[in-house]
A and B are shown apart, each in its own frame.
Chain A
Protein backbone atom coordinates (compact mmCIF):
# COMPACT_ATOMS: atom_id res chain seq x y z
CA UNK A 1 0.00 0.00 0.00
CA UNK A 2 1.42 3.43 -0.90
CA UNK A 3 2.72 5.49 1.99
CA UNK A 4 3.97 9.00 2.62
CA UNK A 5 7.68 8.93 3.45
CA UNK A 6 9.80 11.54 5.22
CA UNK A 7 13.52 12.08 5.53
CA UNK A 8 15.44 12.33 7.70
CA UNK A 9 13.75 10.65 10.65
CA UNK A 10 15.77 12.80 13.05
CA UNK A 11 17.56 16.08 12.34
CA UNK A 12 19.77 17.88 14.83
CA UNK A 13 20.82 21.44 14.04
CA UNK A 14 22.29 24.50 15.66
CA UNK A 15 20.15 27.55 16.33
CA UNK A 16 20.25 29.93 13.38
CA UNK A 17 20.96 27.24 10.81
CA UNK A 18 18.71 26.45 7.87
CA UNK A 19 17.05 23.05 7.66
CA UNK A 20 15.12 21.35 4.90
CA UNK A 21 12.71 18.58 5.76
CA UNK A 22 11.76 16.28 2.93
CA UNK A 23 8.61 14.40 2.15
CA UNK A 24 7.54 12.12 -0.67
CA UNK A 25 3.74 12.18 -0.85
CA UNK A 26 1.67 9.38 -2.34
CA UNK A 27 2.23 9.58 -6.08
CA UNK A 28 -1.23 10.52 -7.40
CA UNK A 29 -2.03 12.93 -4.60
CA UNK A 30 -2.59 16.61 -5.30
CA UNK A 31 -2.89 18.23 -1.88
CA UNK A 32 0.05 18.45 0.51
CA UNK A 33 0.36 19.54 4.12
CA UNK A 34 2.81 20.13 6.92
CA UNK A 35 1.94 19.82 10.59
CA UNK A 36 4.11 19.93 13.67
CA UNK A 37 3.88 18.63 17.22
CA UNK A 38 5.94 20.19 19.98
CA UNK A 39 6.61 17.63 22.71
CA UNK A 40 3.60 17.32 25.00
CA UNK A 41 1.43 19.57 22.87
CA UNK A 42 -1.16 19.17 20.14
CA UNK A 43 -0.45 18.46 16.51
CA UNK A 44 -0.70 21.86 14.80
CA UNK A 45 -1.38 22.73 11.18
CA UNK A 46 1.33 24.72 9.42
CA UNK A 47 0.49 24.92 5.73
CA UNK A 48 -1.36 23.36 2.84
CA UNK A 49 -0.19 23.35 -0.77
CA UNK A 50 -2.06 22.73 -3.97
CA UNK A 51 -1.33 23.41 -7.63
CA UNK A 52 2.14 24.74 -6.79
CA UNK A 53 1.00 27.34 -4.35
CA UNK A 54 0.13 27.73 -0.71
CA UNK A 55 -3.61 27.38 -0.27
CA UNK A 56 -3.82 27.91 3.48
CA UNK A 57 -1.35 28.66 6.26
CA UNK A 58 -1.44 29.15 10.00
CA UNK A 59 -0.05 32.03 12.02
CA UNK A 60 2.88 29.77 12.93
CA UNK A 61 3.96 29.70 9.30
CA UNK A 62 5.82 33.00 9.20
CA UNK A 63 8.55 34.29 6.89
CA UNK A 64 11.04 31.83 8.37
CA UNK A 65 9.14 28.97 6.77
CA UNK A 66 8.73 28.07 3.13
CA UNK A 67 7.49 25.10 1.17
CA UNK A 68 8.34 23.85 -2.25
CA UNK A 69 7.57 21.03 -4.62
CA UNK A 70 10.86 21.05 -6.53
CA UNK A 71 10.00 18.12 -8.76
CA UNK A 72 7.11 15.74 -9.36
CA UNK A 73 7.71 13.70 -6.24
CA UNK A 74 9.20 15.70 -3.36
CA UNK A 75 7.56 18.23 -1.06
CA UNK A 76 9.88 20.18 1.23
CA UNK A 77 9.61 22.40 4.27
CA UNK A 78 12.46 24.87 4.80
CA UNK A 79 13.11 26.72 8.02
CA UNK A 80 15.50 29.56 7.22
CA UNK A 81 16.97 30.34 10.63
CA UNK A 82 15.99 27.81 13.24
CA UNK A 83 15.05 28.78 16.76
CA UNK A 84 15.00 26.64 19.89
CA UNK A 85 11.21 26.69 19.81
CA UNK A 86 11.21 25.06 16.37
CA UNK A 87 12.18 21.79 18.03
CA UNK A 88 9.26 19.49 17.28
CA UNK A 89 8.04 16.52 15.31
CA UNK A 90 7.14 17.60 11.77
CA UNK A 91 4.55 15.58 9.87
CA UNK A 92 3.91 15.70 6.17
CA UNK A 93 0.53 14.60 4.77
CA UNK A 94 -1.12 14.30 1.40
CA UNK A 95 -4.58 13.68 -0.01
CA UNK A 96 -5.85 12.89 -3.45
CA UNK A 97 -8.97 15.01 -3.59
CA UNK A 98 -10.57 18.06 -2.22
CA UNK A 99 -10.32 18.41 1.51
CA UNK A 100 -11.68 18.42 4.09
CA UNK A 101 -13.92 15.53 3.24
CA UNK A 102 -11.17 13.19 2.34
CA UNK A 103 -8.52 11.46 4.30
CA UNK A 104 -5.12 13.01 4.78
CA UNK A 105 -2.39 10.37 4.70
CA UNK A 106 0.42 11.11 7.12
CA UNK A 107 4.11 10.34 7.03
CA UNK A 108 6.02 8.99 10.05
CA UNK A 109 7.45 12.40 10.89
CA UNK A 110 10.85 14.06 11.22
CA UNK A 111 12.02 14.88 14.72
CA UNK A 112 13.82 18.24 14.60
CA UNK A 113 16.07 19.13 17.50
CA UNK A 114 17.46 22.66 17.62
CA UNK A 115 20.42 23.16 19.98
Chain B
Protein backbone atom coordinates (compact mmCIF):
# COMPACT_ATOMS: atom_id res chain seq x y z
CA UNK B 1 0.00 0.00 0.00
CA UNK B 2 1.07 3.53 -0.62
CA UNK B 3 1.99 5.73 2.30
CA UNK B 4 2.99 9.38 2.47
CA UNK B 5 4.77 10.86 5.49
CA UNK B 6 5.23 14.51 6.36
CA UNK B 7 7.44 14.70 9.42
CA UNK B 8 7.02 18.42 10.11
CA UNK B 9 3.60 19.25 11.60
CA UNK B 10 4.48 22.95 11.65
CA UNK B 11 7.09 25.19 10.05
CA UNK B 12 7.67 28.91 10.07
CA UNK B 13 9.61 31.23 7.79
CA UNK B 14 10.37 34.92 7.61
CA UNK B 15 8.87 36.82 4.72
CA UNK B 16 11.21 36.85 1.69
CA UNK B 17 13.19 33.86 2.95
CA UNK B 18 13.24 30.26 1.74
CA UNK B 19 11.66 27.27 3.41
CA UNK B 20 11.69 23.56 2.59
CA UNK B 21 8.88 21.20 3.51
CA UNK B 22 9.70 17.51 3.71
CA UNK B 23 7.80 14.54 2.36
CA UNK B 24 8.66 10.89 2.01
CA UNK B 25 6.53 8.26 0.36
CA UNK B 26 6.44 4.56 -0.17
CA UNK B 27 5.03 2.78 -3.18
CA UNK B 28 5.75 -0.49 -4.91
CA UNK B 29 4.74 0.90 -8.30
CA UNK B 30 7.15 2.31 -10.87
CA UNK B 31 4.47 4.53 -12.42
CA UNK B 32 3.30 7.15 -9.95
CA UNK B 33 2.74 10.86 -9.53
CA UNK B 34 3.51 13.20 -6.68
CA UNK B 35 1.73 16.39 -5.75
CA UNK B 36 1.89 19.26 -3.31
CA UNK B 37 -1.44 20.84 -2.42
CA UNK B 38 -1.92 24.06 -0.47
CA UNK B 39 -4.93 24.73 1.75
CA UNK B 40 -5.20 28.33 2.97
CA UNK B 41 -7.32 28.90 6.10
CA UNK B 42 -11.00 28.23 5.37
CA UNK B 43 -10.31 27.76 1.67
CA UNK B 44 -10.14 24.79 -0.64
CA UNK B 45 -7.04 22.81 -1.45
CA UNK B 46 -5.30 23.94 -4.60
CA UNK B 47 -2.54 22.23 -6.51
CA UNK B 48 0.87 23.84 -6.09
CA UNK B 49 3.09 21.54 -8.10
CA UNK B 50 3.14 18.07 -9.65
CA UNK B 51 5.94 15.62 -10.46
CA UNK B 52 5.78 12.56 -12.67
CA UNK B 53 7.99 9.80 -11.29
CA UNK B 54 9.43 8.96 -14.70
CA UNK B 55 10.78 12.48 -15.12
CA UNK B 56 14.20 13.05 -13.65
CA UNK B 57 14.00 16.82 -13.86
CA UNK B 58 12.59 18.50 -10.77
CA UNK B 59 9.35 20.37 -11.35
CA UNK B 60 9.24 24.13 -10.79
CA UNK B 61 6.37 26.61 -10.71
CA UNK B 62 7.56 30.18 -10.19
CA UNK B 63 8.71 30.40 -6.55
CA UNK B 64 7.87 26.75 -5.87
CA UNK B 65 10.20 23.89 -6.72
CA UNK B 66 10.64 20.30 -5.67
CA UNK B 67 13.62 18.17 -4.83
CA UNK B 68 12.61 14.73 -6.09
CA UNK B 69 14.96 12.00 -4.89
CA UNK B 70 13.50 8.84 -6.39
CA UNK B 71 15.89 6.35 -4.82
CA UNK B 72 15.31 7.86 -1.38
CA UNK B 73 11.56 8.22 -2.05
CA UNK B 74 11.74 11.82 -1.02
CA UNK B 75 9.76 14.73 -2.46
CA UNK B 76 10.42 18.02 -0.69
CA UNK B 77 8.89 21.39 -1.57
CA UNK B 78 11.00 24.53 -1.59
CA UNK B 79 9.30 27.90 -1.38
CA UNK B 80 11.56 30.80 -2.31
CA UNK B 81 10.98 34.44 -1.45
CA UNK B 82 8.16 33.48 0.92
CA UNK B 83 5.12 35.74 0.96
CA UNK B 84 2.42 36.26 3.58
CA UNK B 85 -0.05 34.59 1.20
CA UNK B 86 1.97 31.38 1.33
CA UNK B 87 0.73 30.76 4.88
CA UNK B 88 -1.37 27.59 4.69
CA UNK B 89 -1.49 23.86 5.29
CA UNK B 90 0.61 22.02 2.74
CA UNK B 91 -0.23 18.45 1.84
CA UNK B 92 2.02 16.06 0.01
CA UNK B 93 0.15 13.41 -1.99
CA UNK B 94 0.88 10.47 -4.23
CA UNK B 95 -1.09 8.47 -6.74
CA UNK B 96 -0.19 5.41 -8.72
CA UNK B 97 -0.65 4.85 -12.42
CA UNK B 98 -3.92 3.03 -12.93
CA UNK B 99 -5.46 4.41 -9.75
CA UNK B 100 -7.47 7.56 -9.25
CA UNK B 101 -7.05 8.00 -5.55
CA UNK B 102 -4.71 10.50 -3.96
CA UNK B 103 -2.92 9.28 -0.85
CA UNK B 104 -2.13 12.21 1.42
CA UNK B 105 0.33 12.99 4.16
CA UNK B 106 -0.88 14.59 7.39
CA UNK B 107 0.12 18.04 6.28
CA UNK B 108 2.53 20.77 7.39
CA UNK B 109 1.21 24.06 8.69
CA UNK B 110 3.36 26.88 7.33
CA UNK B 111 3.43 30.24 9.09
CA UNK B 112 5.00 33.22 7.35
CA UNK B 113 6.24 35.93 9.70
CA UNK B 114 6.37 39.53 8.50
Contact = CB atoms under 8 A, between A and B. Distances in A.
B44 A100 contact: no
Contact of A91 (B45, B97, B100): B45
B104 to A, nearest CB: 4
A109 B33 contact: no
A104 B104 contact: no
A45 B44 contact: no
Q: In this complex, which of A4, A44, A58, A104 has the most chain B Cβ atoms within 10 angstroms of its Cβ?
A: A104
B44 A107 contact: yes
Contact of B52 (A4, A41, A101): A101
Interface in A39-96: 41-45, 48, 55-56, 58, 91
Interface string A21-40: 00000000001010100000
Contacts of A43: 91, 102, 104, 107
B38 to A, nearest CB: 11
Contacts of A100: 32-33, 95-97, 99-100, 102
A58 B2 CA distance: 13
